[in-house]
Chain A
Amino acid sequence: MNPYIAGVLLGLVLTASFFLAGQGLGASGAAKSVVASTVLTVAPDYAKNSDFYGKYSHQKESPMRSWLVFEVLGVLLGGFISGAVSGRLTWKVERSPKITRRRRIIFAIIGGMLFGFGAQIAKGCTSGAALSGMASLALSGFIAMMAIFGTAFMFSFIFKKNWV
């Protein structure tokens, strides 16, 4: 799809989210729900005494009953439908031919860890902090956006072999 048209459509989805729910789009928040509900089940005593999980252990409802968990389930189905419509459904490890599958997977895990970690500090990721923050003129949204893209660019020279 033409990227500018895709951008307009994404902007409309984002507008709908603000108009209906009073908040923008998000993704990383759902990860916290999954981790919190796992920790609450596996180690309830630890969770109770932790500042990080504490607020979940005091509520009756499961952390999985959250807006973002359902939104991300929607993303999963939406992505699948789009992939099916455009004939892109295949199992694949996407990588540069210069690197092995194993190296790509290891870097994917490291990247995911950093993203999950950083999103907790910044209260959101590219969608929740940067994109939704920018649309609502949030100062922290613009800072997060510049930090994410600026840092990725600065480090792109080190990881060039992984991609090109």
Chain B
Amino acid sequence: MGPIIPIAGISTEMGFLIAFAIGLGFGFVLEQAGFSSSRRLAGMFYGYDTTVLKVFFTAAIVAMINIFFLNYFEMIDLSMVYIHDAAVYAALIGGVIMGVGFITGGYCPGTSVCAAAIGKVDAIFFIFGILLGVFVFGFFYPVFAPIMNPEEGSMWFVDNELKVSDALGLSDGIFALVLICMAIVMFWGGEWLEKKFARPDITKEI
């Protein structure tokens, strides 16, 4: 029965070893997918390379369906699984800031570590920027705290469901089906964009 680490009471040190192993797989797959190249990642927004879309949605859907099945066969206790729970406005505002960071910097935090690992100097500076950004945020934390932890009655408070399927009033299965259909349409669109906005001069280099 999962999640294994909390249920089996695995020691902190052993947990760190498992974290390292998971990271190893994460880093290997990201790099193999080509995410160690900022020009490939940026290609998503100019249409010449939509690898990001394909990898990202395939991964999210595969994991989502796997979790459904683990739950269905009673192999995981979902009440012990962390579901991302940022406040709605915090996710939106943070996401907007990260989006600007994505198109200016060309990486996201995970991919920058991967790119730095193979010697991309721009990625090393990006990581330095992340650390600087977190440090600067430390001073601004009191400004954003009411958005991140909104109290009832504040303008940032939204009484929402934790899960997207509940928020939309759909069952998990129907929501998954809709998401898969949307992903197939987007994959088709991605392939089309890559032909329409093809930049062989860039894609042969990355």
Contact = CB atoms under 8 A, between A and B. Distances in A.
Q: Do A and B bind each other?
A: yes
Interface of A: 1, 3-4, 6-25, 27-28, 31-32, 34-35, 39, 50-53, 65, 67-68, 70-83, 86, 88-96, 104-105, 107-156, 159-160, 162-164
Given A111-B126, A116-B101, 7 more contacts: A11-B59, A28-B109, A94-B38, A119-B98, A134-B64, A136-B83, A145-B95
28 contacts: A4-B58, A4-B187, A9-B29, A15-B62, A15-B66, A19-B3, A31-B131, A32-B134, A35-B131, A70-B19, A79-B31, A79-B116, A88-B118, A94-B106, A94-B122, A109-B105, A109-B126, A113-B129, A114-B105, A121-B93, A126-B110, A130-B56, A134-B60, A136-B67, A141-B91, A150-B99, A151-B103, A159-B104
B102 interface: yes
A79 B108 contact: no
A39 B138 contact: yes
Main secondary structure of the interface of B (DSSP, over half): helix
A65 B147 CA distance: 28
Nearest to A154: B99
Contacts of B39: 94-96, 163
The range of chain B's interface size is 35 or more
A122 B148 CA distance: 8
B105 A142 contact: no
A124 B25 CA distance: 20
A133 B88 CA distance: 13
B24 interface: yes
B118 A112 contact: no
Interface of B: 2-6, 12, 15-34, 36-39, 42-46, 48, 51, 54-64, 66-67, 70, 75-76, 80-88, 90-123, 125-138, 140-142, 144-145, 147-148, 160-167, 172, 175, 187, 199, 202, 206
A67 B105 contact: no
Contacts, number: 540
B100 A152 contact: yes
Given A6-B32, A21-B5, A147-B92, A137 B102 contact: no
Given A1-B33, A139-B163, A79 B117 contact: yes
